[in-house]
Structure 1
Amino acid sequence: MLLPALIVNLVIFTAAWAFCVKIKNFSPVDAFWAICIGLTSLFFLLLESPNPKQLTAAILIGAWSARLGYHLTRRIAKHHPDEDSRYVKLREVWQGKEKPMFLLFFLGQAVSVFLLALPFHLISADPDPTFDPLSIIGALVTLTGLVGETIADRQMSAFKSADPDPKSVCNNGLWKYSRHPNYFFESVIWCGFFLFALGSPWGWSTIYAPAVITFLLLKVTGIPPTEASAVKRKGEAYREYQRTTSPFIPLPPKPDSSSQR
């Protein structure tokens, strides 16, 4: 199952690259990534008649993939033909060789999809069909993350609908306690997936999945470009938000500067 899954993902992302070249927008790779992780994981889990534990894992990863894939697809379509700032930056870095470099980038995304789906391959290969404490805890942690991320995204969408001013800062609901509650709960989800897989043979080896996701969110594709863009658009209002609000883990906000004078 492993080699066919990898080959199919390489083919899909090559086709996705060709599609993005045609529309002159590489942002859809994010939606392809989320959807393909779900499809690859479901391929592993549902290829044979799944037991209740495997079916539960399939529901959880399917829900994550469908929710995030829909959210990203809707956002990308809404902003098209404007491209995500990350890919605009990459165009600048790779000027003159954008197409081949983006092809390598897309193929790298295909490999990451394969690696992030491996925890579900181990769950599918587990000969023990019974729920163990780790799989139960993992399922509950994942469910908590899914609910939290959904709430965070809906609160942000509601804020933008009520206040379309691009300079306004959302500090309502979960966003009062974290500048990126959606990223925090995404990390929680992948910790839950790891805990679920940990009960299966060799499940410990998938510790890289939550570690990589959390690292990317904290240091690469998540908080750094989002914060830089927010400061550029919102100015001092966002800098004040940075001073008072935790960047990742939800925590009680600090007093703002005006209240300390």
Structure 2
Amino acid sequence: MSVATLFIAVAVALSAVMALAALAVIRGAKSGWVDAVWSFLVGAAGVTVALVPVEGWDGDSVRSVMVATLAGLWSLRLGLHIVARTKGGGEDPRYAALKEEWGEEWRTRMFSFLQIQAAAALLLAGAIFLAARNPAPGLQWSDIVGVLILMAAVVGEGVADAQLTRFRSENRGKGKVCDTGLWALSRHPNYFFQWLGWTGYAVIAIGPDGMWIWGWAALAGPLFMYWLLVYASGIPPLEEHMMRSRGPAYAEYRRRVNAFWPGPQLKETPT
């Protein structure tokens, strides 16, 4: 199979599944299911592009299996977490805000928005593909570093999600803001660790000496994820919701704790 054929097939599959997700939301399903579907899709696409034989793109078989396994584990953990959160909660506030903003056109725009998410999944699958196809023989130091980064990202995101879930169950309806554990170091530690994982794929793709030119293209993964989380559909709409629902408590939290990068609590308003 050629690389073009593989990515065309994956693109069609991603588009079709996200179209079905849009139809489900339009017919009344909770919009939170969209993020679960997207998480599973990115993992499935990553595993596919890492393992399917492609002409002229033969990487080390151990590296390919390792990358596919990490992509699958990340996807399963995040997707199952979102499934549990969606089952026990109401409408996702980010999607609720989008529906309100879009007004009567929300159905059409939701469909288009989810097709953009399908394109984003394809881009991220490309980063996984490049990590799996690095032609360096055997496992290199860069593979070990990349795996350690990915493992830290999966564990860190899992811990952050668990801390927030526990806080919500203990303080439901009290209007408090979670500022303990990892949430005392960053207002969005789960987003930080999600971004961190994509840097792991880039390290593996670039390899031990950086001589494989295609490997540098994997930097598109962490760069795109940073933009998405910090400037687009991650932090901005979520912070708007938190300011509306938590008011002064969240404003004080914003004054003390950095938005994305974990670090000591601040004395001045973070930028």
Regarding TM over 0.5, the answer is yes
1:42 alignment counterpart = 47
Kindly state the Cα deviation for residue 213 of structure 1 after the two structures are TM-superposed. 0.7
Query: How far is 1:89 from its partner?
Result: 2.5
Structure 2 CA distance for aligned equivalents of residues 92 and 234 of structure 1: 20
- Using the alignment, how far apart are the partners of 1:7 and 1:78 within structure 2? 32
Shift of 1:24: 4.7
Alignment RMSD (CA, Å): 2.1
Q: Which of 19, 27, 33 is matched with 1:22 structurally?
A: 27
* % identity of equivalent residues: 32
Pairing 1:1-261 to 2, within 5 Å after superposition: 1-48=6-53, 51-79=61-89, 82-199=90-207, 202-254=214-266
Q: CA deviation at 1:193?
A: 1.6
1:211 partner SS: helix
Secondary structure at 2:103 match in 1? coil
* Alpha carbons 1:53, 1:129 under 8 Å: kept: no
Q: Which moved more, 1:70-79 or 1:118-127?
A: 118-127
In 2: Cα distance, 1:254 partner to 1:93 partner? 33
Question: Cα deviation per residue 1:32-61 (whole Å; 9 max; x = unaligned)?
Answer: 111100001111223359822111111211
| C-alpha distance in 2 between matches for 1:209 and 1:101 | 25
Tell me by how many angstroms 1:129 deviates: 4.4
Range that drifts further, 37-46 or 124-133: 124-133
Amino acid at match of 2:80: Y
Amino acid across the alignment from 1:231: M
> Cα distance, 1:25 vs. partner?
3.6
Q: Distance in 2 between matches of 1:2 and 1:237?
A: 47
Output the CA distance in 2 between the equivalents of 1:53 and 1:123: 8
Deviations 1:55-91 (A, max 9, x none): 1111211111011111112212222xx4222222222
Q: Is the 8 A contact 1:194 1:209 kept in 2?
A: yes
In structure 2, C-alpha distance between the alignment counterparts of 1:163 and 1:6, rounded to whole Å = 42
3-state SS of 1:202 partner: helix
Query: For residues 165-220 of structure 1, what are the alpha-carbon distances to aligned partners after superposition, in whole Å with 9 as ceiling and x for unaligned?
Result: 34112111111111111111111111112112222650101212101111111112
Distance 2:105 2:247 in 1: 34
Aligned length: 254
Give distance in 2, aligned partners of 1:91 and 1:171: 29
Deviates more, 1:215-224 or 1:35-44: 215-224
Aligned partner letter, 2:219:
I
Distance (Å, rounded) in 1 between the aligned partners of 2:24 and 2:152: 35
Q: 2:96 & 2:71 partners in 1: Cα distance? A: 30
* Amino acid across the alignment from 1:202: W
Between 1:156-165 and 1:105-114, the stretch displaced more is 156-165
**CA offsets 1:97-132 (integer angstroms, 9 cap, x no match):** 222222111211111111110122223434444122
- Check whether the contact 1:32–1:69 (CA below 8 A) recurs between aligned residues: yes
Query: In the alignment, which residue of structure 2 is the partner of 1:259?
Result: none
Q: Is the 8 A contact 1:60 1:142 kept in 2?
A: yes
Give ranges in structure 1 of 5+ residues lacking alignment.
257-261
Moved more, 228-237 or 21-30: 21-30
The CA distance in 1 between the partners of 2:177 and 2:48, in whole Å, is 41
Q: Match for 2:51: what amino acid?
A: L
